[in-house]
Structure 1
Amino acid sequence: MNKNIKHILIILALFASAYNASAKDYLITDFGAKADAKTDNTAAIQKAIDECSAKGGGKVVVPGGEFASRMISLKSNINLHLEAGAKISAIANGAKYTSLVMGNEVQNVSVTGSGTLFGNGGKFTIGEEAPNRPYIIFFKNCKNVLVEDVHLLQSASWTLRLFGSEHVIVRGVSIYSHANLNNDGIDIDGKDIIITGCHIDSGDDAICLKSEDSTKRVTENITITNCIAASNCNLIKMGTGSIGGFKNISISNCSLRRATESPFHKWADKPDHYIGIPISGISGIALEIVDGGVLDQVSITNITMTGVQTPIFMRLGSRKNPTGSFKNVIISNITATSHSRMSSMIAGVPGFNIENVTLRDILINSQGGGTREDAERKVPENEKDYPENRIFGWTIPASGLYVRHASNINIDNFQVRLAAPDARPALYLDDVKQLKATNVKVDGEYIIDKAVYKANAVNTSVNQ
């Protein structure tokens, strides 16, 4: 049996055993909740949860209608079920709370149904560092968690956060969040987690893996598959917040694109940014270790992306803690259309290489337009800067892939198609050891002597 399917069946069996099918449903309106969008229903909903928990657990049902509420605290063995047409809306009257739906150190919990959790994010203080902005769903140090089919709209901060949690399935969830800054879609910190069949359209990172626990706990055994993700920032990201790091990560069969709207990020406003479309994501795939920690055993395959500035961004840096390690990554079967002069990058720092990376069957449709000045510019190290594609400037000396401070890199079938003439090489290698590239191709007019530029590159070979 497929390991992931077995994992899902185990978790679902745990839920089935926790919830007595013959037990009655706990309807929140039976506890005084009113669907008038004005009444504060926090106490009524919480009373339904508490009584259901006291009777051994079961299903707390939110019927059709809009119910205003502050934070709802889930308990073990509770299924919060939102029926079709049901909506719980976050109250934003200055009240301070962590999340609209909160699970803290509970197990066998779920949030299901086709209803909506509305974060009301635009009614909270707008700002990157603005305080007291709740998540929509937050599971902290929980076990055996299911979030399925619900709609999560307009968070005040991150939308769905998993922290220190394990044995989690997030399936069929729809997220739309452009009401405030920091509107991440799904943030993952834990282990044994499956994200599948989700549709995310967010202002900040769409799917973001983190490792932020002070004990340096590693985020590991993560599967992300069959998702559609849109963002004005990074589409699929590991870091920042990489104290422990990431191990045994599998990402596959995802479609990435630019966000539907961009009320806060105006990447194309300045002409020297060379962003070719009004709305774009930053990086399609961003892998980052900049706070210590280790990134090891990551596989990403079968990804399509449009509307991004940089298709693939890998960064090993030294932002806060001693430099960590970055190794054993395979990225394959990628089709991307990029809209900037910031090409894909593999960038370590002096003395600390990114190691053992394979790029296979990569097709990049580049907007081109790079100048000879772009091709010859000196790229700063910026070891401690925040890791985004623009960390080295709004132009990079490669039209396809820039590689620096890296070793044992294997590239097979790497194609760059230029929409406009470009004076930069397709590959730019600087302080690279043991690189082998085969079937490197450039389609379009590039105004240079070579398709590959090497600076301090040892034991490297490129076959075009």
Structure 2
Amino acid sequence: MKYSIKKGFLMLFLTSCSMLASAKDFIITDYGAKGDGKTNNTKAIQRAIDECASKGGGKVVVPAGRYASYMVMLKSNVNLYLEAGATVEAIADGTKYVSLVLIDQAENVSVTGHGTLFGNGGNFSIKEEAPDRPFIVYVKNSKSILVEGVKLLHSAAWTLRLFGSEHVIVRGVSIYSHANFNNDGIDIDSKDVVITGCIIDSGDDAICLKSDDPKRITENITITNCIASSNCNLIKMGTGSLGGFKNISISNCVLRRATESPFHKWAEKPYHFMTEQITGISGIALEIVDGGVLDQVTISNISMTGVQTPIFMRLGSRKNPTGSFKNVIINNIIATYHSRMSSIISGVPGFNIENVTLRDIVLNSPGGGTREDAERKVPENEKDYPENRIFGWSIPASGLYVRHAKNLIIDNFQVKLATADARPALYLDDVHQLKATNVKVDGEFITGNDVRMINSDRCLVNP
């Protein structure tokens, strides 16, 4: 008798648990979705999301199959879970929508699993500037967001955009996006964001911090343990920099050449001196060109190859009054690059980049710079779009070109040349208060002939 009572309670308990679990799983096929790659499943998926949200939240499950859809909107307390073998594919028939998955003004939302969100980007309009193309995942004005484990494939525009949001974690996400122009990997215009363990291979900037609202700063960002590839910039802050960037930490990342480059044929243009067919523009690009402020940025433990310029810092005046750029530490960097556009730190006349430390930097350069390269005058181009080539396809320094800067520390900075180079290792123009120690070219401490100074003072090199 006691045994049967216990057994009865056990069965009741297990049944209750099973009912509770199933009540939290909303499987899209139960709402009419078909994974045949043809059916428009937008309404079915949205019905599952809406019912999940109306019942207090839970998991909306996408089982194995290929589900065509327009945009679906996730709501608070909903987890969109893609099982292994599941693909949600964007419908590209000319209909305009913001993104395949939109999270807007919601809290406690997640996109997780082992499946794929396919942006179908190659079937959208192929134009350099096409603002109506959809993203794959767009997180807008939301809070407490998790994107984890999923694959994001071939967006029509940017792949994963974080805008005006906070408390966001992006973990273990794989991005491959080479189907269209402007195929950024992850764009961050938010605060309190952690990006970790992601692998990104994109046509445009791989990981890009932006600040498109002058009243809001992109701040408190950690990016770590990622592998990034791009035909443009691999890790970047800007070009949108209306508010600016503050309190940013980037560490332990590998940057490498992209797998393919269908739209950027850098090596085919004349006078580029590229030593590789596929390259990214800059490994690390820090830019304030639309006003705003860049302050308190640390970047460490980065290995990069397949880039044209390892380190690019630009304070410019593209649209608004010039902003400010200060307090940056970059250390433990090893880079192999493939052009004559060496590392660059450049403000504009009257506005200095300030308080920058470069420490423990090893640059493997192709060399090949000529005397003509060493003597060329670099244009200011204050209002140009900020990328390395605005200063010309060669820079008059084999290691580091610095202009309009103040209070710099350089320590253990090494340049290793693949071929002979007629350019000085350091070129300093309008630089004030610089101390450079342990600066070497091919293992030898540089001397006066390896440094060129113009309108500079209180600059000590290997004192």
Q: What TM bracket, shorter-length normalisation?
A: over 0.9
User: Map of 1:352-431 to 2, 5 A cutoff?
Assistant: 352-431=351-430
Contact 1:39–1:68 (Cα < 8 Å) also in 2: yes
For 1:42-441, list aligned pairs within 5 A: 42-213=42-213, 215-441=214-440
Q: Is the 8 A contact 1:216 1:293 kept in 2?
A: no
Deviation at 1:216, TM superposition (A): 2.5
Conserved 8 A contact 2:84-2:115: yes
TM-score w.r.t. the length of structure 1 is 0.94
Report the Cα distance in structure 2 between the residues aligned to 1:24 and 1:397, rounded to whole angstroms.
63
Structure 1 contact 27–60 (Cα < 8 Å) conserved:
yes
| Equivalent AA in structure 2 for residue 285 of structure 1 | I
Q: CA deviation at 1:429?
A: 0.3
Offset of residue 456 of structure 1: 1.1
Contact 2:352/2:405 (CA < 8 Å) preserved in 1?
yes
Instruction: Name the residue aligned to 2:12.
Output: none
Q: Which runs of 4+ in 1 moved over 3 A?
A: 20-23, 444-449
Tell me the TM-score normalized by structure 2: 0.94
1:12 matched residue in structure 2: none
8 A Cα contact 1:421 1:447, kept in partner: no
Contact preservation (8 Å) 2:439, 2:445:
no
Deviations 1:96-151 (A, max 9, x none): 10000001110100000010000000000001112421000000000000000000
Q: By how many angstroms is 1:233 displaced?
A: 0.2
Paired with 2:333 and 2:164, the residues of 1 have a C-alpha distance of 31
Give the count of matched residue pairs. Answer: 444
Q: State whether residues 438 and 445 of structure 2, in contact with CA within 8 Å, keep that contact through their aligned partners in structure 1.
A: no
Mapped partners of 1:245, 1:117: distance in 2: 31
Q: Could you tell me how far apart the structure 1 residues matched to 2:46 and 2:54 are? A: 12
Task: Give deviations 1:274-302, integer Å, cap 9, x for gaps.
Answer: 11100000000000000000000000000
Write the distance in 2 (CA, Å) between the matches of 1:64 and 1:23: 20
Equivalent-residue separation in structure 2 for 1:445 and 1:253 (angstroms): 28
Aligned counterparts of 1:446 and 1:232: Cα–Cα separation in 2: 34
Q: Based on CA coordinates, which of the two structures has the bigger radius of gyration?
A: 2
Give me the whole-angstrom Cα distance separating, in 2, the residues matched to 1:336 and 1:248. Answer: 24
| SS state at 2:46 partner | helix
Partner letter of residue 355 of structure 1? E
Question: Does the 8 Å CA contact 1:423/1:446 hold for their aligned counterparts?
Answer: no
Please state whether the residue corresponding to 1:192 is helix, strand or coil: strand
Q: 1:55 to 1:328 in 2, by over 3 A?
A: same
Q: Which residue of structure 1 aligns with residue 30 of structure 2? A: 30
Given that 2:211 and 2:243 are in contact with CA atoms closer than 8 Å, whether structure 1 keeps it comes out as yes
Whether the 8 Å CA contact 1:421–1:446 is kept in 2: the answer is: no
- SS state at 1:311 partner: strand
- The letter for the 1-side match of 2:405 is A
**1:444 CA drift (Å):** 7.9
Unaligned runs of 5+ in 1: 1-19
Structure 1 distance, partners of 2:99, 2:329, is 36
